Amino acid sequence: MNMILAVILLALGLLILWKCAELLVAGAVGLAERLGISPLIVGLTVVAMGTSAPEAAASIAAVLKEAGGDLAIGNVYGSNIANLALVGGLIAMINPLQVRKLTLQREIPVMFAAELLLLPLLITGRLSRSNAIVLLAVFTGLIALTAYSASKQGASRSQLEAVEAAKPKTHSMLACLILILIGLVGLAAGAKMTVEGAVFIGRRAGLSEAVIGLTIIAFGTSLPELVTCVVAALKGHHDISVGNLVGSNIFNALLVVGAAGVVSPFDVSNRFAGGVDFWIMILVSVAFTLAIILGRRIVSRLSGAILFCSYLAYLAYLFIIAKAA
């Protein structure tokens, strides 16, 4: 492979990831509408899972390569940091984010628990298949609880939600399933191209696979969250934006890492086994939560700018460390 081909693979892979994630989300949301799931639950689960699909595909593709553990976990850590600092900061600057009290009390603590659960499972420097199964079991439990919550919510749906649910559905059930299938297949292909191109370019530039995963791939696989949240913010759908960001971080920690570990147990370097990058992810989550609390459940434009600048500072730190190494 030469540099020109690597750049083409990276660009085309990211484009396929982005477009196929949109197809997957469209199909999943349409299917959810057909099944009568409320918009809020869709934002926290179906949309978040759909936009986390690129992270899952890229991380699984990474662990199938030799010494791909750092790339896989770096992708997850980097995506979680990018979701809250980069994407969260940008959309707050566009339109201050309003957060429901229940989200602050329930979903955000679950996000912290999911991220912190990675510490004891990765502290040895290896994610075994049994530990990966633990992550998937926790994820399955959360989905079951969410489904139960959705069924309870259905009995007390507001009049506005009932009107929305009564609107004609855009896609048939078959069309939704086809969109989901195309999205999944395209994500797998796009992930392979992205990993191949990014690793080659990063190595030629002298970057470690850890830095590649934390930057190039993490940003590329966060594009679906960015696009979805920006569109939702412009339309004033704050629940979708916040639910997508928080839900994606939960799914990245549980589903993405768990799925990658089940496919192929992998080793990680010290920086990911409770090292600095792990705690930066936790600190960004704390900063995002503090912005919500201090703003009385509103992430202001100022808070958004601070979050965005913190992401730029993190990128600068990564490249300074990379050069020093």
Query: Does 199 score more than 80 pLDDT?
Result: no
Give residue limits of the domains in the chain: 38-155+194-324
Indicate the residue type of 111: M
Nearest residue to 259 (alpha-carbon basis) of 26, 60, 33, 21: 60
Give the best-scoring range by mean pLDDT among 40-49, 93-102, 211-220, 283-292.
Answer: 283-292
pLDDT of residue 171: 67
Confidence band for 14, pLDDT divided at 50, 70 and 90: confident
- The H or E element containing residue 267 is strand 266-267
Query: Does 156 score more than 60 pLDDT?
Result: no
pLDDT of residue 55: 77
pLDDT of residue 299: 93
In this predicted model, what pLDDT tens digit does every residue of 127-139 receive, in sequence order? 999 999 999 999 9
Mean pLDDT, residues 281-304 taken together: 95
Structure-model confidence comparison of residues 116 and 107, the more confident one: 116
Hunting for tokens 């420097």 — which residue is that?
125
Query: Does 204 score more than 80 pLDDT?
Result: yes
Percent of the chain with pLDDT over 90: 28
DSSP structure class, residue 232: H
In this predicted model, what pLDDT tens digit does every residue of 228-250 receive, in sequence order? 777 777 777 777 778 888 988 99
pLDDT of residue 81: 94
pLDDT of residue 257: 93
Confidence band for 39, pLDDT divided at 50, 70 and 90: low
pLDDT of residue 50: 72
Mean pLDDT, residues 30-37 taken together: 71
In this structure, what token pair is assigned to residue 70?
């750092």
Q: Which fold has domain 38-155+194-324?
A: A middle domain of Talin 1 (1.20.1420)
Degrees, nearest 5: CA angle 177-253-236: 65
pLDDT of residue 160: 40
Query: Does 323 score more than 70 pLDDT?
Result: no
Give the best-scoring range by mean pLDDT among 23-27, 164-168, 247-251, 315-319.
Answer: 247-251
Distances (CA, A) of 193 to 76, 77, 110, 182: 18, 21, 33, 17
Kindly report which listed range (43-52, 60-69, 87-96, 139-148) carries the lowest average pLDDT score. 43-52
In this predicted model, what pLDDT tens digit does every residue of 159-196 receive, in sequence order? 444 444 444 455 678 888 888 788 878 877 887 787 78
Distances (CA, A) of 29 to 89, 120, 232, 246: 25, 35, 14, 18
In this predicted model, what pLDDT tens digit does every residue of 45-72 receive, in sequence order? 777 777 777 778 878 888 887 767 888 8
Mean pLDDT, residues 22-32 taken together: 74
Mean pLDDT of the chain: 82
